[in-house]
Structure 1
Amino acid sequence: MHSDRAQLATPLIEVTVGIFLILAVALGFALLPVETEETATLDRTASDALSVLAAEPPEGTGPNRIAAACRSESAFETEADELDSRLRAILPDPLSYRLATPQGHVGQPRPSGIPAGTASFTTDGCTVTLWVWYV
């Protein structure tokens, strides 16, 4: 039997699949975020700042400033100015920050595309997250 259909050579298919596989792996490495020394330093800075806030007495009531800010929206409002003030005092000048709780946030909106450090602190079922980045 003679067939008039053309057939693609198997080695050509294998080469094409191989090229796509290599490109996919290369793109995967290129697009994954890379942990740099700068990011690790920012992570430590964020963690240290949260530790300081967790050790301070609150403006309102509660065991510490973070726990008090997590209690309710009105409690967060009571703590917000002091949280903002303390973070400005704790963090070095070239850093900006964003502290987020389920009740509210203080600091600047996080910009996209620049390295940022992050740390979280959980107290009484409430998770507070702090992001820091160089301005």
Structure 2
Amino acid sequence: MREDRAQLATPLVEVTVGILLVLAVSLGFAVVPVETDDAPTLDRTAADALSVLAVEPPVGTGTDRLTAACRSPSAFDTESDALDRRLRAMLPTPLSYRLETPHGAVGQPLPSGLPTGAASLTTDGCTVTLRVWSA
């Protein structure tokens, strides 16, 4: 019997398998989408901010700042500057916000195409909604 058959060197086979493995892992990371959904974090931030506003004393009369802002358009006007200042101070710098009541809104206009978190709170028959997003 003749042993004239050609054989691949074992190191060459190992290098080829190693390269294919590295390429497969690299393609897996490149092709598989990475979750970058900030909505749960933004929702939590909005809910926390509303909770704080719901226990702060109002500028005008009432039990808390949100209840006072919901009472009437003139009461909202009285509270709007304080709500705006407090939200600017409370929320982290890269976040923008919009607080909406039936009598008006404070903050920036809602963006389109950006992940937005939201939370709502009903107080004395009035629903207040806070939306936050990363600017």
TM-score scaled by structure 1? 0.73
- Say which one has the larger Rg: 2
Q: Counterparts of 1:40-119 in structure 2 under 5 Å?
A: 40-119=40-119
Q: Distance in 2 between matches of 1:102 and 1:36?
A: 33
Q: What stretches of structure 1 move > 4 A for 4+ residues in a row?
A: none
Query: Take 1:95 and 1:83, find their aligned partners in 2: how far apart are those partners?
Result: 16
Task: For residues 15-37 of structure 1, give each alpha carbon's deviation from its aligned partner in whole angstroms, at most 9, with x where no partner exists.
Answer: xxxxxxxxxxxxxxxxxxxx964
In the TM superposition, residue 38 of structure 1 has moved relative to its aligned partner by 1.0
Q: Kindly report the root-mean-square deviation, in angstroms, between the aligned alpha carbons of the 2 structures.
A: 1.2
Tell me, which stretches of 5 or more residues in structure 1 are unaligned? 1-34
Contact 2:37–2:115, Cα closer than 8 Å, also in 1: no
| Partner secondary structure for residue 106 of structure 1 | strand
Q: Distance in 2 between matches of 1:101 and 1:129?
A: 7
**Identity over the aligned pairs, expressed in percent?**
71
**Number of aligned residues:** 101
Shift of 1:90: 0.5
In the superposition, the TM-score normalised over structure 2's length comes to 0.73
Gapped runs of 5+ residues in structure 2?
1-34
Q: Distance in 1 between matches of 2:121 and 2:86?
A: 16
